């Protein structure tokens, strides 16, 4: 059994691969209050860290941070299905959203409706797991979400990602 490693702020967290039969799908949301808009970033990788697909999507309204994270989770599931992913580990840095996605019960709050949309999409997967990651482990999805501020609607990259996002 491995000994847990205590990490401090200067320790860089490393990429962890999903099991070989699953794809890792990271999502993140960003809010641009000055522009009254929000952004979504998604990156899908295989177990060898190869990018399968990624995207930046602009949302033409300013959402609160939890709402954009929930919206991003649904978009990540939809995007994964569009590119043919049916077995995945979905990772995001909002613990509240990840917990909501794992819950069997419906959340009776406005955010619950956004999470329910993601839950509906999850029914189309053969295998799906949810995982909370620290922001340090979600940098690529975060950078893609921030990039959405400068695009008109949606940018998709297949099997590659521009190096300035890394």
Looking at residue 145, what is its pLDDT? 98
Distance CA 62, CA 55 (A): 19
Looking at residue 14, what is its pLDDT? 63
Residue-range domain boundaries for the chain: 26-165
What is each CA distance from 120 to 54, 73, 123, in whole angstroms? 22, 12, 6
Per CATH, which fold does 26-165 belong to? Nucleotidyltransferase; domain 5 (3.30.420)
- pTM of the predicted protein model: 0.88
């Amino acid at each position: 059994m491995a000994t847990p490693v205590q990490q401090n702020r200067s320790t860089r967290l490393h990429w962890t691969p999903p099991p070989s039969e699953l794809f890792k799908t990271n999502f993140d949301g960003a809010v641009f209050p000055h522009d009254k808009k929000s952004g979504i970033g998604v990156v899908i990788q295989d177990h060898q860290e190869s990018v399968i697909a990624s995207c930046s999507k602009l949302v033409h309204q300013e959402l609160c941070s939890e709402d954009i994270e929930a919206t991003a989770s649904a978009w990540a599931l939809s995007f994964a299905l569009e590119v043919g992913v049916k077995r995945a580990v979905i990772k995001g840095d909002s613990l509240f959203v990840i917990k909501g996605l794992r819950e069997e019960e419906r959340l009776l709050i406005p955010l619950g409706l956004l999470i329910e949309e993601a839950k509906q999409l999850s029914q189309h997967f053969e295998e799906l797991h949810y995982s909370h990651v620290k922001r340090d482990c979600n940098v690529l999805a975060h950078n893609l979400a921030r990039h959405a501020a400068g695009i008109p609607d949606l940018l998709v990259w297949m099997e590659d990602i521009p190096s300035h996002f890394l």
